[in-house]
Amino acid sequence: MDFLVSVADFDYLKVIGTGSFGKVFLASHRENGRYYAVKVLQKHIILTRKEERNVMCEHRVLLKTLNHPFLVKLHFSFQTKDRLYLVLDYACGGELFYHLQREGVFGEPRARFYAAEMACALGYLHSLKIVYRDLKPENILLDSAGHVVLTDFGLCKEGMSGRGTTRTFCGTPEYLAPEVLLQKEYDRTVDWWGLGAVLHEMLYGLPPFYNADRLEMLRNIIYQPLVLKPGVSSAARDLLMRLLNRDRAKRLGAKRDLTELQSHPFFSSIHWDELVAKQIPPPYVPLLSGPGDLTNIDPRFTELPVPQSLGACEEYGATFPGFTYINENILSLTRGHEDRILSDQ
């Protein structure tokens, strides 16, 4: 069986991200020369770790959310016998926290801009009954203009209504809300806690409740009162206190979700309609020589070898039926071949 888009249509150039699932590569499309981030997931890891639902979830979430300005766009997906491939936009500005690590802290206007764009993306997901759950540094990228791009939907929880809750737990703990750490029921308000944690790190240079000893930090997240040092405005501190409220029913966003955040004084200078229309110039524009530039990608990724086997012709495998996908915009350019495309929809 052959497909419109397959492994062999790309040159895999560099590693730009890693995770337990597999790796993310910078790849160029052999025909149109465009650059993409290709996330390659190893089926055997997914199957042994019982993460199949997560992967299929990531896939479905990306399918559902093709057109939000601050969420990574899925262009194609396909599979071989051993691997699943997600072909995503390449966010060439790199990880937001790569820049934060190099600069220590961000000034309030810059932190406000990123927090506002992230809030829009989260509010959008919530409106589709999706909880992002995993707002952590490596999932927040910048595009070439300096806008936020949220990636990695492996942990998203679909199908949660406004007041729905869930008890599944996974993910790295530093940015997780106390109710998730304690394996209690949780809802979309975990994302507002996550946003508070990210905003804290942008303003203070460290996540809230930070302790070099991880276990101590987990204890702090669950039990310690939040202490905010001076040095940031009272509006910013008030927002952090409200987002990092351990009681999720009282957390900012619990009642009216994104709308509640939008009317907080910290965001009073943000024109939200202009923000989602990308009409507000980003406070920092990544320095780039071209669309496939790697200068903003952490060298600890790009130094890793690219496996030769990636682009090799492999047999199609059907362990994940319905996974192979092609973006409808591209579909319209290739009319007449629809019968060869497997789609979830």
96-155: contacts with ligand ADE (CB under 6 A): 141, 151
Q: In whole angstroms, what separates CA 124 from the centre of its chain?
A: 13
| Residue from 7, 24, 119, 121 binding ligand ADE (CB under 6 A) | 24
- The residues in 34-63 that bind ligand ADE, with binding defined as CB under 6 A, are 37
For the CB of residue 133, give the shortest distance to ligand ADE in the complex, in Å: 17
Stretch that binds ligand ADE, among 52-60, 82-90, 154-162, 269-277 (CB under 6 A): 82-90
* Nearest-approach distance from CB 237 to ligand ADE, in angstroms: 32
Would you say 50 is a known binding-site residue? no
Number of residues forming the site for ligand ADE (CB under 6 A): 11
CA distances from 68 to 48, 101, 166, 276 (A): 33, 27, 25, 9
The answer to whether residue 134 is catalytic is yes
Residue 232 φ/ψ region, left for φ over 0, alpha for ψ in the -120 to 50 degree band, beta for the rest: beta
- Residue of 5, 27, 91, 122 interacting with ligand ADE (CB under 6 A): 91
Q: How many CB atoms lie within 10 A of CB 232?
A: 21
Task: Give the shortest CB-73-to-ligand ADE separation in angstroms.
Answer: 9
User: What's the one-letter identity of residue 258?
Assistant: L
Instruction: Please give the angle made by the CA atoms of 97, 51 and 198, to the nearest 5 degrees.
Output: 20
Q: Which of residues 166-195 bind ligand ADE (CB under 6 A)?
A: none
Alpha helix positions (H), 171-326: 178-181, 189-204, 214-223, 234-243, 258-262, 272-276, 299-302
The one among 88, 115, 203, 275 contacting ligand ADE by CB under 6 A: 88
Q: What share of the chain is helix, strand, coil (3-state, %, to 5)?
A: 35, 15, 50
Q: Is 72 in the site for ligand ADE (CB under 6 A)?
A: yes
Closest to 42 in 3D by CA, of 317, 340, 322, 344: 317
CB of 200 to ligand ADE, least distance (A): 23
* Interface with ligand ADE (CB under 6 A): 16-17, 24, 37, 72, 88-91, 141, 151
Binding-site annotation: residue ranges for ATP: 39
Binding-site annotation: residue ranges: 39
Which residues are the active-site residues? Answer: 134
